[in-house]
């Protein structure tokens, strides 16, 4: 009985110390379970363990506790975990895993060790973590619609390519047509040899077409009703509502960046740099940030540099880069145009000005005339 009383007293004393001390918590988020480490101001670990990655478990463990600094890594669960912990009154820092090689490249990497290092870095100086700013859950939900459409288009493309490949293996070639017309055209061309293998695929392709069309209407409605600023971006030829909406949802606020040039770096289109002494090699782009938006920007750049595109200052600038020669000149030019396009979009969004394809040239002519 006395032993139990001492145990209760010890736990109460420990709880009181935790309330009085300035504690930092590191959580290594996992899909089902997460490891946590709680450290005091002296860097001593006073508690660690494993909890379920659920709202209920987080509320039970951190709800009702004094305000602590909690550090997590950016990932699949980080947005909703951050939102939930902040509702519980906690300070949450979301670390950029690309910028903390002490964790990602550690030779002794484990979930408990990662949690301990997150707590340590958060206690010493949060700037070490290069904290990121999550978009709101509403923006995340709207962005999920775009990604859902992208996944459906990818599934349709795989089915169509599979159907064409199976037909070729049997000595047939299906007629060229658009994705939306494929199911109908292919159904008319199926012979006895192709009927058993390809007929079951056609309803699935047509079903995907229908789902994609419905998402297109949803995306159009969301852009018009909730994000009218996206209309400023698709003034540029070759840019559609999906790309413009993806850009707005990813950046969320134009005032997030003081300089438009920073937008290109945020999306990962800025060249990496590894300068040391007199050595400064030319490297590829960083590929940081949202990969889907980066892919959409590159698609737009390819359209702008295509033969059927109307002439503009941006197109002429990109074509000059292509003329510099080298086997990768066209690829470099496409990436450069995509980066410049991201900067242009931010300027249009922040200023509210109408898009002028020859804005820079007219400024030069006005300066010469003056």
Each domain of the chain, given as residue ranges in start order, spans 15-129, 137-226, 229-272+284-357
> And the tokens for 180?
């939306």
Give the residue-averaged pLDDT of 358-367: 63
> For the stretch 95-113, what's the b/e string if a residue is b when 16 or more beta carbons lie within 10 angstroms of its beta carbon?
bebeebeebeeeeeeebbe
Among 59, 47, 57, 50, residue whose Cα is nearest residue 15: 47
Give the residue-averaged pLDDT of 291-318: 92
Give the residue-averaged pLDDT of 279-292: 81
Give the residue-averaged pLDDT of 12-30: 72
The pLDDT > 90 percentage for the chain reads 56
Confidence category of residue 67, pLDDT binned at 50, 70, 90:
very high
Judge contact between 270 and 339, C-beta under 8 A. Answer: yes
Give the residue-averaged pLDDT of 285-289: 82
What is the per-residue pLDDT for 194? 87
Among 192, 187, 189, residue whose Cα is nearest residue 202: 187
Pairing outcome for strands 69-73 and 91-95: parallel
Confidence category of residue 1, pLDDT binned at 50, 70, 90:
very low
Measured between its terminal Cα atoms, the distance across the chain in Å is 95
Give the residue-averaged pLDDT of 223-238: 91
Confidence category of residue 336, pLDDT binned at 50, 70, 90:
very high
What is the per-residue pLDDT for 282? 75
Task: Compute φ and ψ for 105, nearest 5 degrees.
Answer: -115, 20
Give the residue-averaged pLDDT of 52-73: 94
- Average pLDDT taken over every residue of the chain: 87
User: Widest CA span of the chain, in angstroms?
Assistant: 97
User: Residue 74 — left, alpha, or beta (φ > 0 → left; ψ -120 to 50 → alpha)?
Assistant: beta
* Signed CA dihedral, 292, 295, 299, 300: sign only: positive
pTM exceeds 0.75 for this model: yes
pLDDT of residue 17 exceeding 90: no
Cα torsion at 277, 286, 97, 79 (round to 10°)?
Answer: 150
pLDDT of residue 328 exceeding 70: yes
If one compares 351 and 271, the residue with the highest pLDDT of the two is 351
What is the per-residue pLDDT for 341? 93
pLDDT of residue 84 exceeding 80: yes
Give the residue-averaged pLDDT of 189-201: 87
Give the residue-averaged pLDDT of 43-64: 93
pLDDT of residue 4 exceeding 90: no
pLDDT of residue 265 exceeding 50: yes
Name 34's Cβ contacts closer than 8 Å, sequence gap at least 6: 27, 28, 50, 51, 52, 53, 111, 115
Task: Tell me the C-alpha distance between 28 and 50, whole Å.
Answer: 10
Work out the burial of residue 292: count CB atoms within 10 Å of its CB; fewer than 13 is exposed, 13-18 middle, 19 or more buried. middle
Judge contact between 305 and 319, C-beta under 8 A. Answer: yes
Give the residue-averaged pLDDT of 318-338: 87
pLDDT of residue 19 exceeding 70: no
Give the residue-averaged pLDDT of 90-94: 95
* Fold exhibited by the domain 15-129: Nucleotidyltransferase; domain 5 (3.30.420)
What is the per-residue pLDDT for 261? 87
């Amino acid at each position: 009985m006395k032993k139990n009383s001492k145990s209760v007293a010890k736990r109460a004393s420990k709880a009181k110390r935790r309330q009085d001390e300035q504690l930092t918590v590191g959580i290594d988020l996992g899909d089902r379970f997460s490891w946590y480490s709680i450290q005091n101001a002296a860097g001593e670990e006073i508690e660690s363990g494993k909890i379920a990655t659920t709202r209920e478990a987080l509320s039970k463990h951190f709800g009702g506790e004094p305000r602590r600094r909690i550090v997590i890594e950016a990932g699949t669960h980080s947005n909703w975990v951050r939102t939930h912990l902040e509702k519980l009154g906690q300070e949450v820092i979301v670390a950029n895993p690309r910028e903390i090689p002490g964790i990602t490249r550690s030779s002794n990497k484990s979930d408990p060790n990662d949690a301990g290092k997150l707590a340590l870095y958060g206690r010493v100086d949060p700037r070490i973590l290069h904290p990121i700013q999550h978009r709101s859950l509403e923006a995340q939900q709207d962005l999920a619609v775009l990604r859902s459409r992208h996944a459906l288009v990818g599934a349709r493309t795989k089915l169509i390519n599979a159907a064409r490949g199976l037909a070729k293996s049997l000595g047939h070639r299906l007629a060229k047509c658009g994705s939306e017309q494929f199911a109908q055209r292919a159904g008319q061309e199926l012979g006895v040899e192709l009927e058993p293998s390809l007929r079951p695929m056609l309803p699935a392709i047509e079903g995907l077409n229908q789902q994609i069309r419905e998402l297109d209407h949803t995306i159009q409605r969301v852009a018009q009703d909730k994000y009218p600023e996206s209309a400023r971006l698709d003034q540029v030829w070759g840019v559609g509502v999906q790309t413009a909406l993806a850009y707005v949802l990813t950046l969320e606020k134009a005032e997030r960046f003081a300089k438009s040039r920073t937008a290109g770096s945020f999306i990962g289109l800025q060249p990496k740099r590894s300068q040391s002494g007199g050595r400064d090699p030319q490297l590829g782009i960083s590929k940081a940030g949202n990969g889907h938006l980066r892919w959409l920007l590159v698609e737009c750049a390819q359209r702008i540099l295509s033969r059927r595109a109307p002439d503009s200052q941006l197109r002429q600038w990109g074509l000059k880069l292509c003329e510099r020669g080298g086997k990768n000149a066209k690829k470099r030019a496409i990436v450069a145009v995509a980066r410049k396009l991201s900067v242009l979009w931010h300027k249009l969004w922040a200023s509210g000005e109408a898009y002028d394809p020859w804005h820079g040239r007219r400024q030069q002519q006005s300066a010469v005339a003056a």
